[in-house]
Amino acid sequence: MQNKKTIFVCCGTGCQASGSMKIYQTMQKIISKLDLDVEVVADIKKTGCHGLCQKGPLVHITPQEITYIHVKTTDVQEIIERSIIKDEVIDRLLYFDKQQNAKIQSKNDWSFEKKQFRIALRHCGCIANDSIDDYIAKGGYQALEKVLKTMTPQEVIDEIRKSSLRGRGGGGFLTGLKWSFAAKAQGDIKYVICNGDEGDPGAFMDRSIMEGDPHTVLEGMAICGYAIGANRAFLYIRDEYGLAVENMKKAIADAHARGVMGQNIFGSGFAFDAEVVRGGGAFVCGEETSLIHSIEGSTGEPTSKPPFPANQGLWGKPTIINNVETWANVPVIISKGADWFASIGSEKSKGTKVFALVGKINNTGLVEVPMGIKLREIIFDIGGGIEKKRKFKAVQTGGPSGGCIPESKLDLPIDYDSLIAEGSMMGSGGMIVIDDRTCMVEFARYYLKFLSEESCGKCVPCREGIKSMLKILNDICEGKGQEGDIELLEEIGSMVKANSLCGLGKTAPNPVLSNIKNFRDEFEAHIKDKRCPAGVCKNLTKLYIDQEACIGCGLCAKSCPTAAISGEKKQPHVLDEAKCINCNSCRERCAVDAIRVH
Amino acid sequence: MQIIINGKTYAANPGEKILDVARRNGIEIPTLCHSEALPGLASCRLCMVEVHENGRTQYVASCTYPVADGMEVFTNSEMIAARRKILLALYNLIAPDSARIKGLLARYHVEPFDRLEADPDSKCILCGLCVKACEELGTNAISTLNRGTKKKIGTAFNEPAADCIGCGSCAIICPTQAIEMTEAEGNRTIWEKTFELLRCRDCGEYFTTPESLEHVRKKLGETVGNIEELQLCNYCKTKRAATRLKDGLHLDEYLDSDK
């Protein structure tokens, strides 16, 4: 009798941070020592990200389809005894789905998964992230074989053009069109680059793909190499992404050993080789011309376009540079066809997009959804709504230089064009959910500060414009805002957007401008009334305890670092404004929302 | 090939930039980081123009944007003028004493910001011309350091540059005179390094450092004809060339025939 099971332990960076490697090792140790009548063939696989990082470490068992969350090393023995040797389900380790109000056995049935549609993340969590065999077993490298054996380079480009795939790194340029420029460009040496310099705070889809499914990126790049006539590729990976670098390097070595990379691939005569370059550490290196200069060994600063990299890129040669997620879509388009791909999504944005759903949301993680899905569906159906049942205020899309979309636009179908029309952008797919305790002025200030540090400083509008806007926003948050500040921010902001050299500057004022547009009253409250309605800006906040709401539990008084709160047990407490330093600790602790902002 | 600038048609050559055509025809577009000898920096963003091309309107840097047949360019549209004012007001914050910036502010009727204070000690606008000049003419002795609002121009590790040959290209090309170069008693000091100066063989004025002369000699290599000519100041070099030209063309005869 044989009992064959596979245990998938998520070993993405998120789950590793919560100790998944120890779980993996403990599992191996226990399984290897098993001495039973039943032959247990348990295959333990280290996988990439499953998506719901907040509940990690995640362990998934097939064929029963059981998913355990928050697994600890002390749970391993029990999991093996009950779910591997026997077929029992450990109720305690299952995910409680608030929307369905029930414990759910398999991740496939989580509300988090229901509206998702996975193309780029199709293998993440389902295959061992260090195994070319697993990738091949899932149909990997068949797309490359198909193009090399049955398609001309022009046919490959036509297919990608027909799919209407747009760049997933943020710009949204038509991938097939870009490839056609490089294919037409003169020159016997051409290059393919993977932009893996994911730098947006809170975004981790590219990292997860490189960690969890490195071969799909390599396969996509090789297909492009064949289409445009390039034989060499570079993967520029953010230096902090150690696991992505490690997995990608192993994937390249394995692909060589299997003959899907190197000379004469699939007997076609086509040669293709790739190497990993570790990023130089600047956010601006995600901009394509800066990235190219960084690979060349120069300072990572942008240069003006034209010339576009497709004509004159790395070392002056025609170069196609696409983002990780874009590459991950390519093999699927070739395998399943452009028509299939173009049937998914909205009118002008086809396929899916991966979003990193973070912030004040219940289900933090990676989600992949069809283009055109409504924001409401992502935040409330997949994301499970706002943390601590608070009120949704806005969602920032597109990373630090994206704008904030307010509640009134929750039914906006999400695609490249709708987000730009709202003063935001797709960016690489960051999605930061903001609740009513976030100050929109301070939020804009925070991102502008980030950008002031990360602007390369080459062009004056970006460097000096951001600096001046930041000075004004600092003043506003400190209560030193002046009449006319809003208009000045708008004037400088629109100049920075129009006059800056590269995409960083052209989008940097977005958080400020979109917040002024959608939350102008908050700016005015800061400037005119010297009041921060969200209670965040310390100089502009005065807290008080609502005497009717307070139940006298005393939690606020315990959490106060300056002993500003006093009161009898079970009696309404009072807050001494003179002692209060507006740290908001009491407000966070209060279970009945009795701490209010003047 | 023809392009239309501010409603008038001008001839243009493929590969030229909008700024080239405009300047050739006397159309004013302000710049700070542009030098005909070292084009393509595109960092000052003052030369932005509005371009109507293939049914699209774009705002581009005229110093790097290539011309295309039939393209329509506006150098002073409402948007361009308004943004230029804001940008110049920002320049005034970082180089308030620069004559060039003051001139531009006056020329374009720019009111300085009341709300934001200019930095009285700041002179450099970080356009990068000096770095490019050092790269092309000198020895890569200076470069940009740091990034973002902490960016500056300097030597490696802020130490007197080992590579600097004291040619002064950086200081001469700087649009805001932000690089200090002093000359006294036959010495030149730049980037905290002092060089001895050579005298011109003809007029005897101090004119360059032995290090830069050696650099030029090495760069020219075999092609250098008259080594003596390298040891002349610009004025005397021009004088000698003019004399040669006059002699070669036998201008004396023409001049004499007037008598």
Point out the domain boundary residue: A435, A466, A501: A435
* Contact between chains at B86 and A484 (C-beta distance less than 8 A): no
Angle at A496 between CA A196 and CA A294, to 5 degrees: 30
Residues A96 and A163 in one domain: no
Q: Read off the amino acid at residue A303.
A: T
Q: What is the pLDDT of residues B135-178, one digit of tens each?
A: 998 899 999 998 888 899 999 888 888 899 999 999 999 999 99
Judge whether A62 and A37 are in contact, CB under 8 Å.
no
Q: What is the CATH number of the domain that holds A588?
A: 3.30.70.20
Q: Which of A575, A80, B82, A579 is nearest to A590 (CA)?
A: A575
Domain housing B146: 129-233
Q: How many folded domains does chain B comprise?
A: 2
Report CA dihedral (A353, A393, A508, A197) to the nearest 10 degrees.
Answer: -40
Same domain flag for A467 and A358: no
CA gap A140, A216 in Å, rounded: 7
Among chain A, residues having any CB pair with chain B shorter than 8 Å are: 282, 284, 299, 301, 303-304, 306, 452-461, 463-468, 471-472, 482, 484-485, 488, 491-492, 494-495, 498-501
Q: Where are the alpha helices (DSSP H) in A307-354?
A: 324-336, 338-342
The predicted-structure confidence for A531-577, as pLDDT tens digits, reads as follows 999 999 999 999 999 999 999 999 999 999 999 999 999 999 999 99
Residues A495 and A423 placed together within one structural domain of the fold: no
Q: Each residue of A324-337: pLDDT tens digit?
A: 999 999 999 999 99
CB pairs under 8 A between A and B: 105
Q: What is the CATH number of the domain that holds A23?
A: 3.40.30.10
Asked if B122 is an interface residue toward chain A (Cβ–Cβ < 8 A), one would say: no
The reply to whether B81 touches chain A by the CB within 8 Å rule is no
Query: Percentage helix, strand, coil, to 5, in chain A?
Result: 45, 15, 40
Confirm whether A410 is domain-assigned.
yes
Q: In this structure, what CATH number is given to the domain that contains residue A362? A: 3.10.20.600
The reply to whether A23 falls in a domain is yes
Q: Are residues B216 and B155 in the same domain?
A: yes
Residue B250 lies in a domain: no
The CATH number given to whatever domain includes residue A519 is: 1.20.1440.230
Residue range A154-165: mean pLDDT, rounded: 97
Residue A338 and residue A374 share a domain: no
Q: Do B70 and B143 reside in the same domain of the chain?
A: no
- The one-letter amino acid at A397: T
| Domain total of chain A | 5
Chain B residues whose CB is inside 8 A of the A306 CB are 64-66
A380 and A365 both lie in a single domain: yes
Query: Whose CA is closest to A459, among B149, B127, B124, B144?
Result: B127
Percent helix, strand, coil in chain B (nearest 5)? 35, 20, 45
Q: Which residues pair with A406 in a beta bridge?
A: A394
Determine the structural domain holding residue A369 and report its residue range.
352-435
The one-digit pLDDT tens for each residue of chain B (259 residues) are: 999 999 999 999 999 999 999 999 999 999 999 999 999 999 999 999 999 999 999 999 999 999 999 999 999 999 999 999 999 999 999 999 999 999 999 999 999 999 999 999 999 999 999 999 999 988 999 999 988 888 999 998 888 888 999 999 999 999 999 999 999 999 999 999 999 999 999 999 999 999 999 898 888 876 666 667 788 998 999 998 898 888 887 766 666 655 4
- Is the domain of A510 the same as that of A549? no
DSSP code for A265: G
Question: Would residue B115 be called left, alpha or beta, if left means φ above 0 and alpha means ψ between -120 and 50 degrees?
Answer: alpha
* A320, A342, A364 - which closes a domain: A342
Of A301, A468, A488, the CB nearest to B93: A468
Residue A200 and residue A59 share a domain? no
Examine the domain organization and report whether A384 and A421 are in the same domain: yes
Closest CA of chain A from B189, distance in Å = 27
CA distance A342 to A515: 34
Predicted local distance difference test score (pLDDT) of residue A1: 47
CATH number at residue A197: 3.40.50.11540
Asked if A194 contacts A235 with a C-beta cutoff of 8 angstroms, the reply is yes
| Calculated CA dihedral for residues A279, A284, A288, A289, nearest 10 degrees | -100
- Shortest distance between the Cα of A316 and any Cα of chain B, in A, equals 15
**E strands of A57-183, at which residues?**
59-62, 66-68, 95-97, 102-104
- Residues of chain B with Cβ-Cβ distance to A488 below 8 Å are 113, 115
If asked whether residues A180 and A325 sit together in one domain, one would say yes
Tokens of A474: 């600092």
Name the packing angle between helices A205-212 and A242-258 (round to 10°): 40
A235 occurs within a structural domain: yes
Residues A141 and A169 in one domain: yes
Domain closes at, from B76, B101, B117? B76
What are the start-end ranges of the H helices in A354-439? Answer: 375-376, 416-421
Query: The domain that contains B171 carries what CATH number?
Result: 3.30.70
Closest to A459 in 3D by CA, of A331, A301, A282: A301
Give, in degrees to the nearest 5, the angle at Cα A254 between A50 and A26. 45
Residues A290 and A174 in one domain: yes
Residue A121 CB contacts under 8 Å (≥ 6 apart), including other chains: A49, A51, A205, A208, A209, A212, A213, A328, A354, A366, A368
Does B138 lie in the same domain as B217?
yes
Mutate to test the interface with B, among A285, A451, A459 (most CBs of B within 10 A): A459
Report whether A21 contacts A57 (CB < 8 A): no
Burial label for A377, CB within 10 Å (0-12, 13-18, 19+), is middle
> Please, which residues have CB within 8 angstroms of residue B51's CB and are 6 or more apart in sequence?
B18, B57, B58, B59, B60, B65, B71, B72, B73, B74
Are residues A311 and A396 both part of a single domain? Answer: no
- Note whether residue B114 is domain-resident: no
B124 located within any domain: no
- Three-state secondary-structure class, residue A86: coil
Minimum CA–CA partner of A466 in chain B: B149
Residue A118 lies in a domain: no
Whether residue A45 is contained in a domain is answered as yes
